[in-house]
Amino acid sequence: MKKRLLSIALLSALAAPQLATAAANNALSVHILDQQTGKPAAGVEVVLEQKRDDGWRQLNMGQTDKDGRIKALWPEQEVAPGDYRVTFKTKPWFDAQKQESFFPEIPVEFHISNPHEHYHVPLLLSPYGYSTYRGS
């Protein structure tokens, strides 16, 4: 049993740098901060979509970690210039906090012009307002 735990710990330690590198090389990350508490919003579902002629096409989805982040939201495909949208599904998170909110979800549209850059979409959240910007 001890040997097995040691093997698992060793494999985890070896995989951690690869996961960190994969996240660092990912084209898109998001972050949510609760403005009222100053704390991260963990467990919020976020959906990434690409705008097409016939509407929006889902590319990926994820859930914010304990730090309110998704470090690698871009799917394993090449980044293409175009219009995209991340939608933060905030209602379940507010419900879990036993708070009302005016915004059950927050869609943020953005344009990728340079597929070789990193794009970061932070969200500063409160029950009756929010702000966002292009982060780094």
Domain residue limits, the chain: 2-132
Give the residue ranges of the annotated binding site for substrate: 31, 69, 133
pLDDT mean across residues, the chain: 88
Q: For 3-8, what is the mean pLDDT?
A: 48
Please state which architecture CATH assigns to domain 2-132: Sandwich (2.60)
User: Distance (Å, rounded) from C-alpha 95 to C-alpha 93?
Assistant: 5
Q: What is the DSSP letter of 53?
A: T
What percent of the chain shows pLDDT beyond 90? Answer: 79
Whether residue 10 is predicted with pLDDT greater than 50 in this model: the reply is no
User: Distance (Å, rounded) from C-alpha 52 to C-alpha 48?
Assistant: 13
Whether residue 65 is predicted with pLDDT greater than 50 in this model: the reply is yes
Give the residue ranges of the annotated binding site: 31, 69, 133
Give residue 13's pLDDT band: very low, low, confident or very high (50, 70, 90).
Answer: low
Q: For residue 40, give both structure tokens.
A: 């991260």
Give residue 3's pLDDT band: very low, low, confident or very high (50, 70, 90).
Answer: low
25, amino acid identity: N
Q: How many CA atoms lie within 13 A of 130 on its CB side?
A: 24
109 vs 21: which has the higher pLDDT: 109
E-only strand ranges, 4-132: 28-34, 39-40, 45-52, 55-63, 69-70, 82-89, 106-112, 119-126, 129-132
User: Distance (Å, rounded) from C-alpha 30 to C-alpha 47?
Assistant: 11
- The reported pLDDT for the residue numbered 27 is 94
